[in-house]
């Protein structure tokens, strides 16, 4: 959002990772690709930087060996509850600044990201979990 909008009133964003990890467009797929055991969702105050604002609340969950659709469903349910909690408790929440030294970024997924090599079974498995149904995995 433009700074002019952000200056009017606090803007809250919901993000599908435990910030500052996986800022950007594909946090769920990135967590799966990296074989993370945990992920989560958080609410944060928006600022000019991409997913850089102070975190209001977060909740984590186990994503071990789950595919992208399963993780989306888990996080969607958690996100609904977290959004309600953040809105109801906003005045009592203490925003926590993100630790920039822990920040990681993820990119927008492209079709070619589904390309696999037969050299690494773990990579094939993680890509299968992260990229089914789209972009899929292929040789």
Question: What is the value of pTM for the model shown?
Answer: 0.94
What does each C-alpha distance from 97 to 16, 41, 94, 102 come to in angstroms? Answer: 17, 16, 10, 12
- Which residues 6+ apart lie within 8 Å of 55 measured at CB? 19, 42, 43, 44, 95, 96, 98
Q: What is the CATH number of domain 3-131?
A: 3.40.50.12230
Q: Which of the four pLDDT bands, split at 50, 70 and 90, describes residue 1?
A: confident
| pLDDT, tens digit (0-9, with 9 covering 90-100), for 32-88 | 999 999 999 999 999 999 999 999 999 999 999 999 999 999 999 999 999 999 999
Q: Is the pLDDT of residue 91 over 90?
A: yes
Omega before residue 20 within 30° of 0, cis:
yes
| pLDDT computed for residue 15 by the predictor | 99
Position 2 confidence tier, pLDDT thresholds 50, 70, 90: confident
Position 134 pLDDT exceeds 90: yes
Domain boundaries, the chain: 3-131
């Amino acid at each position: 959002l433009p700074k002019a909008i952000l200056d009017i009133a606090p803007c809250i964003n919901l993000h599908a990772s435990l910030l500052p990890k996986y800022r950007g467009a594909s946090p769920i797929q990135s967590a799966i690709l990296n074989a993370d055991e945990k992920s989560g969702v958080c609410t944060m105050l928006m600022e000019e930087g991409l997913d850089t604002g102070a975190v209001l609340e977060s909740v984590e969950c186990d994503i071990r060996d789950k595919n992208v659709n399963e993780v989306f469903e888990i996080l969607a349910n958690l996100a609904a509850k977290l959004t309600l909690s953040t809105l109801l408790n906003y005045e009592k929440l203490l925003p926590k600044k993100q630790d920039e030294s822990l920040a990681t970024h993820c990119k927008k997924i492209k079709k070619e990201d589904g390309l696999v090599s037969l050299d690494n079974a773990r990579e094939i498995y993680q890509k299968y979990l992260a990229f089914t149904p789209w972009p899929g995995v292929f040789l």
